[in-house]
Chain A
Amino acid sequence: QKEVEQDPGPLSVPEGAIVSLNCTYSNSAFQYFMWYRQYSRKGPELLMYTYSSGNKEDGRFTAQVDKSSKYISLFIRDSQPSDSATYLCAMRDTGRRALTFGSGTRLQVQP
């Protein structure tokens, strides 16, 4: 079983929809959580990071962490065609600097 599970998609939504992307993890030592966005033929870029349970908002993006359920989510409001990309969750524990990545969810926002 992988330490981090992420549905590969593709997830296709109409423009303006609210998108929910999720990851589950098995390692309770994970304390730091990130979301990356990767456009086709590009390297991943950091969208958000959070260290605590609860919600963190940045513009149209909200990251949610539920450590008791080992579940993290990224919500995108008012989705745009430019949000079409692969979204990767990543996490690490306090003892290691290495990140463990999910395999990514491909999102397509239809105009």
Chain B
Amino acid sequence: EAQVTQNPRYLITVTGKKLTVTCSQNMNHEYMSWYRQDPGLGLRQIYYSMNVEVTDKGDVPEGYKVSRKEKRNFPLILESPSPNQTSLYFCASRERDEQYFGPGTRLTVT
């Protein structure tokens, strides 16, 4: 089954404690991205990757890092989380304009 998986699904953490959200896809897609979804603002792209070792900033990259060492994995790293990063995060992978989203990670930073 074609899918994008994310872990963890729910995370509550404190300001400044580094965290990583993992993302993996089994469709051999080259293009992967991370979004955050906030009420009234919709989905906003954080970072994207065109292929292994090729990443670039999206619309809201501040406070986030990513890496793409393997084609299937695209982790999102928050080095020093802050409360304004409390949000619902989605990983996605894409072939042409068919984009597949993961189930989401709800992050709360206190």
Contact = CB atoms under 8 A, between A and B. Distances in A.
B99 A99 contact: yes
Interface residues of B, number: 24
A28 to B, nearest CB: 19
B51 to A, nearest CB: 12
Given A97-B48, A98-B33, 18 more contacts: A4-B42, A6-B42, A34-B99, A42-B103, A43-B4, A43-B101, A43-B102, A43-B103, A43-B104, A46-B99, A88-B43, A90-B43, A98-B48, A98-B58, A98-B59, A99-B45, A99-B99, A103-B41
A89 B23 CA distance: 24
Contact of A45 (B33, B43, B48, B101): B101
A71 interface: no
B50 A97 contact: yes
Contacts, number: 50
Nearest to A33: B97
Nearest to B44: A101
B74 interface: no
Contact of A42 (B40, B45, B100, B104): B104
Interface of A: 4, 6, 8, 32, 34, 41-46, 49, 88, 90, 92, 97-99, 101-104
Contacts of B4: 43
A6 B45 CA distance: 18
Nearest to B4: A43
B43 A44 contact: yes
Interface string B34-65: 00000011111100101000000011000000
A4 B41 CA distance: 10
Contacts of B48: 97-98
B97 A43 contact: no
Nearest to A51: B97
